[in-house]
Amino acid sequence: MGNGDEIVIHVVDMEDEIPEKPVRIDPNGDVDIPLAGRFHANGLTLDQFKTELASRLTKFVNNPRISVNLTDERSRSVTITGAVVAPGVRQLQGPVRLIEALALGGGAKAEAGPRVIITREQKWGKIPLPDATVDPATGTSTASVSLDDLQASRNPSENILMMPNDSVYVPKAEIVYVVGNVRKSGGFQLSTHPTISLLQAIALAEGMDKDAKPESARILRQPQGGDGKPKVIPVNISLVMAGKAPDVALQGNDILDVPNSGVKSGSRRAIEAIIQAATGVAVYRF
């Protein structure tokens, strides 16, 4: 039971004192019942509600026989946020699964990332997914599923039933930037991949220009939190392409810079210029 729900109560032999008419749980989660007074109903099951009501009515009747029917369930809502067409709070009508909840939010946008994150209140138990974790402080559980797999129905068990007050979040896809002496500078969204390799990034950029200096390439990796000086990771693309050095995994917001053979690099000003160049390039989805 939750705020906004409507119930009808019947107490045997107390029909005059407690009329059998709809009672709405108010925005504070309380109900006001004749003789029983005002008490909190939000979060109670119907059986728990009957137990609480019975304990309040025992001063008027021995072993009160009570029935409670939920006639209007307005509290079953899911919050859908992130890279969806129509974010917001949606009311659930009957059993609703995760893919249907996404549809209530208009579906994922083109810039959606590869995962869908679900958060659930403690009272509904741990989310029934293998990677679900529980916050020890709040008891809420969090899990994620592949958006691509969910939409393609590859793992039906991941299309879980929604519970009241679940939160469904679709993060935006992170972007890897490739700038400098490549044929197609730009940002490439990691829409279905958590990472891409250096060689994949070069391929997406349609290869290097003839004036490129691949042995002096570097990755600029933003520090956690988005502040501070970027980490500079030197990479020799020539050795990687020749199979003489391991390919490198690029993370979200990494900038791969392929310099010109005639340009000296390494200064802080040069790094700042590369970062500024990356923010102004076109973004592509692959």
Res 134 pLDDT > 90: yes
Lowest mean pLDDT among 22-26, 77-81, 266-270: 266-270
Assess whether pLDDT exceeds 60 at residue 226: no
Q: Which of 32-41, 186-195, 228-237 has the lowest mean pLDDT?
A: 186-195
Task: Give the end-to-end CA distance of the chain in Å, rounded to a whole number.
Answer: 45
61 within 8 A of 38, measured Cβ to Cβ = no
The runs of H, that is alpha helices, within the chain are 46-57, 98-104, 147-152, 198-204, 237-241, 268-279
The pTM of this model reads 0.63
Return d(Cα 237, Cα 214) in angstroms, integer: 5
Pairing of β 186-189 and β 175-180 = antiparallel
- Of 51, 46, 77, the C-alpha closest to 64 is 51
pLDDT of residue 277: 67
Share of the chain above pLDDT 90, in %: 61
Question: What are the tens digits of pLDDT across the range 80-129?
Answer: 999 999 999 887 766 789 999 999 999 999 889 889 999 999 988 999 99
Domains of the chain: 6-72 (3.30.1950.10), 77-170 (3.10.560.10), 175-285 (3.10.560.10)
Per-residue model confidence as pLDDT tens digits over 243-284: 999 999 998 889 999 998 765 555 555 666 667 767 677 777
pLDDT digits (tens, 9 = 90+) for 183-197: 999 988 887 677 889
In angstroms, the CA 265 to CA 253 distance is: 20
- The 8-class DSSP code of residue 210 comes to T
Going from the C-alpha of 135 to that of each of 43, 82, 119, 143, 145, the distances in angstroms are 20, 21, 10, 11, 18
Q: Strands 175-180 and 167-170, how do they pair?
A: unpaired
Q: According to the model, what pLDDT value does residue 10 have?
A: 95
Give the pLDDT mean for 26-32.
Answer: 90
Q: What is d(CA 155, CA 66) in angstroms, rounded to the nearest whole number? A: 44
**Least confident span in 4-13, 67-76, 204-213, 275-284:** 275-284
Q: What is the pLDDT of residue 146?
A: 93
Q: Which long-range contacts (CB under 8 A, 24 or more apart) does 277-280 make?
A: 277/179, 277/185, 278/177, 278/179, 278/187
Is 208 a residue whose pLDDT tops 70?
A: yes
